[in-house]
Protein backbone atom coordinates (compact mmCIF):
# COMPACT_ATOMS: atom_id res chain seq x y z
CA UNK A 1 0.00 0.00 0.00
CA UNK A 2 1.34 3.43 -0.87
CA UNK A 3 1.51 6.22 1.74
CA UNK A 4 -1.11 8.21 -0.19
CA UNK A 5 -3.49 5.24 -0.25
CA UNK A 6 -2.97 4.70 3.49
CA UNK A 7 -3.65 8.38 4.13
CA UNK A 8 -6.90 8.17 2.15
CA UNK A 9 -8.03 5.29 4.38
CA UNK A 10 -6.93 6.76 7.72
CA UNK A 11 -7.51 10.50 7.34
CA UNK A 12 -10.54 11.99 9.07
CA UNK A 13 -12.04 15.25 7.77
CA UNK A 14 -11.89 16.89 11.22
CA UNK A 15 -8.14 16.23 11.63
CA UNK A 16 -5.31 17.97 9.81
CA UNK A 17 -3.11 15.79 7.64
CA UNK A 18 0.23 16.03 5.85
CA UNK A 19 1.53 14.44 2.66
CA UNK A 20 4.94 14.98 1.08
CA UNK A 21 6.38 13.11 -1.87
CA UNK A 22 9.65 13.23 -3.80
CA UNK A 23 9.16 10.93 -6.76
CA UNK A 24 12.75 11.24 -7.97
CA UNK A 25 13.93 9.54 -4.75
CA UNK A 26 10.95 7.22 -4.30
CA UNK A 27 10.19 8.85 -0.94
CA UNK A 28 6.86 9.82 0.59
CA UNK A 29 5.59 10.78 4.05
CA UNK A 30 1.96 10.64 5.11
CA UNK A 31 0.80 11.78 8.54
CA UNK A 32 -2.62 12.19 10.13
CA UNK A 33 -4.12 12.91 13.54
CA UNK A 34 -1.48 14.96 15.37
CA UNK A 35 -0.32 13.79 18.78
CA UNK A 36 0.65 17.32 19.81
CA UNK A 37 -0.57 20.59 18.40
CA UNK A 38 0.40 24.22 18.97
CA UNK A 39 -1.13 27.37 17.53
CA UNK A 40 1.03 30.49 17.76
CA UNK A 41 1.42 33.89 16.11
CA UNK A 42 3.37 37.07 16.53
CA UNK A 43 7.00 38.08 16.14
CA UNK A 44 8.32 35.30 18.40
CA UNK A 45 6.41 32.47 16.69
CA UNK A 46 9.52 30.73 15.34
CA UNK A 47 11.25 30.88 18.72
CA UNK A 48 8.07 29.57 20.37
CA UNK A 49 7.84 26.75 17.82
CA UNK A 50 11.46 25.76 18.42
CA UNK A 51 10.90 25.76 22.19
CA UNK A 52 7.77 23.62 21.76
CA UNK A 53 9.67 21.08 19.66
CA UNK A 54 12.63 20.92 22.07
CA UNK A 55 10.47 20.48 25.16
CA UNK A 56 8.31 17.89 23.39
CA UNK A 57 11.36 15.82 22.42
CA UNK A 58 12.46 15.64 26.08
CA UNK A 59 9.32 13.60 26.84
CA UNK A 60 9.46 11.51 23.65
CA UNK A 61 10.48 7.85 23.62
CA UNK A 62 11.66 6.35 20.34
CA UNK A 63 11.89 2.64 19.65
CA UNK A 64 12.62 0.31 16.79
CA UNK A 65 15.03 0.81 13.92
CA UNK A 66 15.69 4.50 14.56
CA UNK A 67 18.86 4.40 12.45
CA UNK A 68 16.79 4.11 9.26
CA UNK A 69 15.97 7.17 7.14
CA UNK A 70 12.86 9.06 8.33
CA UNK A 71 12.72 7.01 11.55
CA UNK A 72 11.94 8.76 14.82
CA UNK A 73 9.76 11.73 15.70
CA UNK A 74 8.90 14.38 13.12
CA UNK A 75 7.30 17.77 13.45
CA UNK A 76 5.24 19.18 10.57
CA UNK A 77 4.31 22.84 10.46
CA UNK A 78 1.32 24.39 8.82
CA UNK A 79 1.87 28.01 7.88
CA UNK A 80 -0.73 30.60 7.03
CA UNK A 81 0.51 33.68 5.23
CA UNK A 82 -1.83 36.59 4.75
Using one digit for the tens of pLDDT, what is the confidence trace for 44-77?
998 999 999 999 999 888 889 999 887 888 887 7
Give yes or no for a contact between 64 and 73, defined as CB atoms under 8 angstroms apart. no
How far is it, in rounded angstroms, from Cα 32 to Cα 5? Answer: 13
pTM comes to 0.64
In terms of Cα–Cα distance, which of 62, 51, 5, 52 is closest to 28? 5
Per-residue pLDDT at 80 exceeds 80: no
C-alpha–C-alpha distance, residues 37 and 17, integer Å = 12
CA atoms of 73 and 56, how far apart (whole Å): 10
Q: What is the pLDDT of residues 6-50, one digit of tens each?
A: 888 888 888 888 888 898 988 888 888 777 888 888 899 989 999
Amino acid sequence: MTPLAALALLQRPEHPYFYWEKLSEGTAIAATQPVLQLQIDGQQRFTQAQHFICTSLVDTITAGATHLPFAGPHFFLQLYIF
